A and B are shown apart, each in its own frame.
Chain A
Amino acid sequence: MNRRQVLERLSKLVALSGASLGLGAFFKARSRRPEARYVSLTPRRQETPEDPRYPDLAVVKNGAPEELVHRAVAALGGMARFVSRGDVVLIKPNVAWDRIPEQAANTNPDVVAAVCRLCFEAGAKNVIVTDVSCNDARRCFQRSGIAEAATREGATVLLPERRHFVRTDLHGEFIGIWPVLRPVLEVDKIINLPIAKHHSLTSVTLGMKNWYGIIGGERHTLHQRIHESIVDLADFVRPNLTILDAYRILKRGGPTGGSLRYVEERQILVAGTDPVAVDAWAAWTFWSIAPEKLRFLTLGKVRGLGEFDLQRVRIAQFDLAS
């Protein structure tokens, strides 16, 4: 080996050593303790502003589901008050369980269909119907009849998969960073479409509790502070309109039900812009629970979500049978 070769070999080694050092330093500087990523958003503040011309609550009785929907929405000023031309609307029914409509564990499919149709008539560009079901979503959406009803009306049914969730800071008192269904964060308008059911921890599950169905993750831990977490979620997702389906209600054995003995056909629909008032009215009317006894309602009022004192709520009642 001559001098030239030795020098060449050595210079290569020096260059490689330098490169190793450089790369090592680069990667050392990159070292961070891994942190889960999330998006931080200001809570939705898109609820419909109060309008003195219309009541806070519209209660319609005795009619087919679609008639009830039409009358209630008309009483509140028509769907055009809530949905503008070109809007993407999210409809959030309760599709939590693998049950058929008669068992009243999920929102009535005819109510869902009627609301979808009204949204399209008001000029909505797209209507997304979704829920984070408890049982297998395919079964829940099929057997509840909701997938069929919504698809028939031209709405998009979204069965949540892992990729549809975004880790989001909800800025709640108990609910911090949780996986949230992406469309909730992206759509223009949100309509809550719960069903009135019994629940053994909160006595009732109505509109505000329905927001459990927009988050994924370990949501069974929420039950430990259920009232606080209901209010946290309701504070984050302030809907433009709440329509509570009480065509059939699940009087006992909720929220899953099953036996038809627990179901009462009441043919009632309550719609309103005040989510607390809707829940208060239903709790009082169907279960005779004084609203001030339900902690998620009193907490909701404190947060400024609405009014539970039914004396102070402007209610318009309609009976389609008379």
Chain B
Amino acid sequence: MTQKSLRIWRRGSQILFFALFLFLLIQTQYRGSLKSAEQEIRLSYPVQIFLEFDPFVAITNILATGALYRNLFLAIFLIILTLFLGRFFCGWICPLGTLNHFFSWLHSETKIGIRRIHLQRYKKWQVTKYFLLIIALVLAIFGSVWFLALDPISLTVRSFTVAVFPGLEVIVDTFQSFFYSINFYPLQLMGEILSYGFGKFIFGFRPLFFRQSVLIGILFGVILLANFRVTRFWCRALCPLGALLGFLSRWSILGLEKQPSRCTDCNLCLFDCQGGDDPIPGAKWRKAECHLCFNCVASCEEGALKFTWFPGGATTIETVDLKRRKLLRGALAGAVLFPVLRSSVSYEAEVSPWRIRPPGALDEENFLERCIRCGECMKVCPNNALHPALTEAGLEGLWTPVLVPKIGYCEPSCVLCGQVCPTGAIWEISQDEKLGYLSPRVKDKTRQPVRIGTAFVDRGRCLPWAMARECIVCEEWCPISPKAIYLEEAVVLNSEGKPVRVRRPYVDPERCTGCGACEYACPVKDRSAIYVTSVGESRSRKNQFILEKRRRE
């Protein structure tokens, strides 16, 4: 096998891993089974495994919590491989890297001729990513993994979940309803096939829509479009995982060997270089920038470039271009950023009523040590209940999951969000742990369920309370048993002065788990007459208001 064919292998690997990434992301949903009646519903694939192989996630998990959660140990294998081989992950595996690679390859007016060759040389601004990495690591030591929103896997999962898939769904739906509206059977059939096919194999049972899809989608679009200006701009300049792998490649034994005597200065090696690592003879090879894409080797017609184990000879190698003083500056920035984020009032002094965390979520401090904003939980939630926070959890809680009961409530028997969370921000719990005494299988009837908030009746909007009309839908839907919503019969006057018998709902805060089924079902559509706020969530010691049982849980 010649080294030129390695480029083909690299392409194959990129396609394969990207397909695997998409497949697992698509499988991050509960599809339901017509053939089995299992009582505890679980996903059958390790759908979050890309995140669990991610060293940036693993190292920040260690720094923030002093331990490695569940399958994050897998990342150690990637670290070891990188120690020996360098940043092969960026060139061969990373799904965002592959997307950036693809967009860089598309024709661009700015990247032509001599300009392109200049652009492809190593640039000083490529150290930005190391700054970001150091800030992220220092921040993690203090207990915030805010910067993990920039992890390429986390970013890609989140963007696809929140923006790309819902956008695709709108497109398919538009076509489908257009076909359907035409009274011509073959077209209608096509619409049917379209919606069946996409629904069956890609989207799942019902369309999911997310808050902030536009913001997250635009940011993703900017990252992809930047490739038209600078090849793999994100990977070269910003990616903190790339920076981490760059650091790790310091002692790697696979390297580029240059033979300047053969070089004719044709610059072809620069032309398709992905990392901006100066493969051209006569310059220092920037090892920490190289993605091992093998484009330079494949394009060199003189055979002046080749990858070898323990490269020596005429090659000069430069590792991470970061002086100690700059390093300290980055660390300082992280140290300053932490209090900036944490001192915002929303963390403790003013808890947002809408900061409703999914069941199994750790208390806010531990949660923020772990949540990497990947959006896996939002993707898997069958009720579309979880959404990226904007202000609900303060600046530090940006894009962390919050439950929005009006859009979807928390299904009492469902624990899928905990199954897919790679870092344990939503701890993996079993159905019986979540349900406590509400589960028919739990014998100990003092075991309390996981509570995520408490429901409150808005008497000014409630039909029986304010408008002399029957309703009781919230009580009907309440899945708690005995019901957390109870009714009081009352005779009230209607507008004609006639007595009307109605049943008015009350909430028993000792029973309510805050699942939000009542808020979801309330017929007062725009702002439900019963709504859940975070108070009483069992993960928090402070966000409590009822004396009795709940304080002892």
Contacts from A to B (Cβ < 8 Å) = 97-98, 100, 102-103, 109, 134-139, 141-145, 147-151, 157, 159, 161-163, 199-201, 218, 220-221, 223-226, 253, 255-260, 262
Please measure, in the bound complex, the distance between the C-alpha atom of A166 and the C-alpha atom of B284, giving whole angstroms.
69
Within 8 A of A (CB), among B28-67: 30-39, 41
Q: Are A98 and B481 in contact (CB under 8 A)?
A: no
Q: Which residue of A lies closest to B192 (CB)?
A: A163
Please measure, in the bound complex, the distance between the C-alpha atom of A225 and the C-alpha atom of B502, giving whole angstroms.
12
Against A, the Cβ 8 Å flags (1 = close, 0 = not) of B177-205 are 00010000000000010010001000001
Q: Are B523 and A221 in contact (CB under 8 A)?
A: yes
Cβ-based interface call for B323 (8 A): no
Q: Are B37 and A109 in contact (CB under 8 A)?
A: yes
Not counting A134-B477, A137-B32, a sample of 19 additional A-B residue pairs whose C-beta atoms are within 8 angstroms of each other reads A109-B37, A138-B382, A142-B36, A143-B38, A143-B413, A148-B35, A159-B205, A163-B180, A163-B192, A163-B195, A200-B487, A218-B523, A220-B473, A220-B523, A223-B471, A223-B473, A224-B463, A226-B470, A253-B481
- A136-B383, A138-B382 known; A260+B440 contact, CB < 8 A: yes
Please measure, in the bound complex, the distance between the C-alpha atom of A253 and the C-alpha atom of B481, giving whole angstroms.
7
Q: Are A98 and B523 in contact (CB under 8 A)?
A: no
Cβ-based interface call for B225 (8 A): no
Cβ-based interface call for B331 (8 A): no
A-B pairs with lowest CB-CB distance, top 5: A258-B481, A138-B32, A259-B481, A145-B37, A220-B523
- Contact partner of B478 (CB less than 8 A), chosen from A141, A256, A262, is A256
- Contact partner of B37 (CB less than 8 A), chosen from A147, A225, A256, A258, is A147
Task: Name the B residues within 8 Å of A223 (CB-CB).
Answer: 470-473, 476, 523
Q: Which residue of B lies closest to A205 (CB)?
A: B476
Pull 28 A–B residue pairs with CB atoms less than 8 Å apart, ordered by A: A98-B411, A100-B39, A103-B440, A135-B411, A135-B479, A136-B383, A138-B31, A139-B30, A139-B382, A142-B32, A142-B37, A143-B38, A143-B41, A147-B37, A159-B32, A161-B199, A163-B195, A199-B476, A200-B475, A201-B470, A218-B523, A221-B523, A223-B470, A223-B476, A224-B469, A224-B523, A253-B483, A259-B440
Please measure, in the bound complex, the distance between the C-alpha atom of A221 and the C-alpha atom of B469, giving whole angstroms.
10
CB distance from B391 to the nearest CB of A (A): 29
Task: Name the B residues within 8 Å of A218 (CB-CB).
Answer: 523, 525
Q: Are A151 and B411 in contact (CB under 8 A)?
A: no
CB distance from B432 to the nearest CB of A (A): 13
Task: Name the B residues within 8 Å of A161 (CB-CB).
Answer: 199, 205-206
Within 8 A of A (CB), among B432-490: 438, 440, 463, 469-473, 475-483, 487
Please measure, in the bound complex, the distance between the C-alpha atom of A260 and the C-alpha atom of B293, giving whole angstroms.
62
Please measure, in the bound complex, the distance between the C-alpha atom of A184 and the C-alpha atom of B280, giving whole angstroms.
72
Cβ-based interface call for B121 (8 A): no
- A139-B32, A200-B503 known; A98+B412 contact, CB < 8 A: yes
Task: Name the B residues within 8 Å of A260 (CB-CB).
Answer: 440
User: Which among A137, A150, A163, A260 has the highest number of chain B CB atoms within 10 Å?
Assistant: A163
Q: Are B414 and A139 in contact (CB under 8 A)?
A: yes
Contacts from B to A (Cβ < 8 Å) = 30-39, 41, 176, 180, 192, 195, 199, 205-206, 382-383, 411-414, 438, 440, 463, 469-473, 475-483, 487, 503, 521-523, 525
Task: Name the A residues within 8 Å of B37 (CB-CB).
Answer: 109, 142-145, 147-149
User: Which among A163, A220, A226 has the highest number of chain B CB atoms within 10 Å?
Assistant: A220
Q: Are B482 and A142 in contact (CB under 8 A)?
A: no
- Contact partner of A142 (CB less than 8 A), chosen from B38, B206, B525, is B38
Q: Which residue of A lies closest to B469 (CB)?
A: A224
CB distance from B486 to the nearest CB of A (A): 9
Q: Are A200 and B34 in contact (CB under 8 A)?
A: no
Q: Are B32 and A141 in contact (CB under 8 A)?
A: yes
CB distance from B39 to the nearest CB of A (A): 6
Q: Are B476 and A259 in contact (CB under 8 A)?
A: no
Task: Name the B residues within 8 Å of A142 (CB-CB).
Answer: 32-34, 36-38, 41
CB distance from B34 to the nearest CB of A (A): 4
- A200-B503, A201-B476, A223-B473 known; A98+B413 contact, CB < 8 A: yes
Task: Name the A residues within 8 Å of B32 (CB-CB).
Answer: 137-139, 141-142, 147, 159
Please measure, in the bound complex, the distance between the C-alpha atom of A151 and the C-alpha atom of B32, giving whole angstroms.
13
CB distance from B171 to the nearest CB of A (A): 16
Please measure, in the bound complex, the distance between the C-alpha atom of A76 and the C-alpha atom of B521, giving whole angstroms.
39
Task: Name the B residues within 8 Å of A255 (CB-CB).
Answer: 476
- Contact partner of A139 (CB less than 8 A), chosen from B411, B487, B522, is B411
- A257-B481, A262-B481 known; A139+B413 contact, CB < 8 A: yes
Task: Name the B residues within 8 Å of A262 (CB-CB).
Answer: 481
CB distance from A65 to the nearest CB of B (A): 15
Task: Name the B residues within 8 Å of A149 (CB-CB).
Answer: 37
CB distance from A192 to the nearest CB of B (A): 20
- Contact partner of A148 (CB less than 8 A), chosen from B36, B413, B503, is B36
- A138-B382, A253-B482, A253-B483 known; A100+B440 contact, CB < 8 A: yes
- Contact partner of A256 (CB less than 8 A), chosen from B383, B463, B481, is B481
Task: Name the B residues within 8 Å of A145 (CB-CB).
Answer: 37
Q: Are A256 and B525 in contact (CB under 8 A)?
A: no
Q: Are A138 and B469 in contact (CB under 8 A)?
A: no
User: Which among A145, A147, A224 has the highest number of chain B CB atoms within 10 Å?
Assistant: A224
- Contact partner of A138 (CB less than 8 A), chosen from B30, B36, B487, is B30
Task: Name the B residues within 8 Å of A103 (CB-CB).
Answer: 440
CB distance from B363 to the nearest CB of A (A): 28
Task: Name the A residues within 8 Å of B205 (CB-CB).
Answer: 136-138, 159, 161
Q: Which residue of B lies closest to A257 (CB)?
A: B481
Please measure, in the bound complex, the distance between the C-alpha atom of A150 and the C-alpha atom of B180, giving whole angstroms.
30
- A139-B411, A142-B33, A220-B523 known; A201+B440 contact, CB < 8 A: no
Task: Name the B residues within 8 Å of A136 (CB-CB).
Answer: 205, 382-383, 411
Q: Are B411 and A256 in contact (CB under 8 A)?
A: no
Task: Name the A residues within 8 Å of B471 (CB-CB).
Answer: 220, 223-224
Task: Name the B residues within 8 Å of A148 (CB-CB).
Answer: 33-37
Task: Name the B residues within 8 Å of A224 (CB-CB).
Answer: 463, 469-471, 523
CB distance from B209 to the nearest CB of A (A): 13
Please measure, in the bound complex, the distance between the C-alpha atom of A309 and the C-alpha atom of B37, giving whole angstroms.
40
Task: Name the A residues within 8 Å of B411 (CB-CB).
Answer: 98, 135-136, 139
Q: Which residue of A lies closest to B412 (CB)?
A: A98
User: Which among A135, A148, A150, A223 has the highest number of chain B CB atoms within 10 Å?
Assistant: A135
Task: Name the A residues within 8 Å of B206 (CB-CB).
Answer: 161-162
Task: Name the A residues within 8 Å of B479 (CB-CB).
Answer: 97-98, 135, 256, 258
Q: Are B476 and A256 in contact (CB under 8 A)?
A: yes
Please measure, in the bound complex, the distance between the C-alpha atom of A221 and the C-alpha atom of B36, giving whole angstroms.
34
Please measure, in the bound complex, the distance between the C-alpha atom of A56 and the C-alpha atom of B123, giving whole angstroms.
88
Task: Name the A residues within 8 Å of B180 (CB-CB).
Answer: 163
Task: Name the A residues within 8 Å of B383 (CB-CB).
Answer: 136
- A134-B521, A200-B472 known; A259+B382 contact, CB < 8 A: no
Please measure, in the bound complex, the distance between the C-alpha atom of A209 and the C-alpha atom of B180, giving whole angstroms.
32
Please measure, in the bound complex, the distance between the C-alpha atom of A136 and the C-alpha atom of B410, giving whole angstroms.
11
Please measure, in the bound complex, the distance between the C-alpha atom of A257 and the C-alpha atom of B33, giving whole angstroms.
23
Q: Which residue of B lies closest to A101 (CB)?
A: B37
Q: Which residue of A lies closest to B181 (CB)?
A: A37
CB distance from A96 to the nearest CB of B (A): 10
Task: Name the A residues within 8 Å of B482 (CB-CB).
Answer: 253, 259
Task: Name the B residues within 8 Å of A226 (CB-CB).
Answer: 470
CB distance from B28 to the nearest CB of A (A): 15
CB distance from B549 to the nearest CB of A (A): 17
User: Which among A143, A144, A199 has the highest number of chain B CB atoms within 10 Å?
Assistant: A143
Task: Name the A residues within 8 Å of B483 (CB-CB).
Answer: 253, 256
CB distance from B33 to the nearest CB of A (A): 5
Please measure, in the bound complex, the distance between the C-alpha atom of A152 and the C-alpha atom of B542, giving whole angstroms.
51
Q: Which residue of A lies closest to B414 (CB)?
A: A139
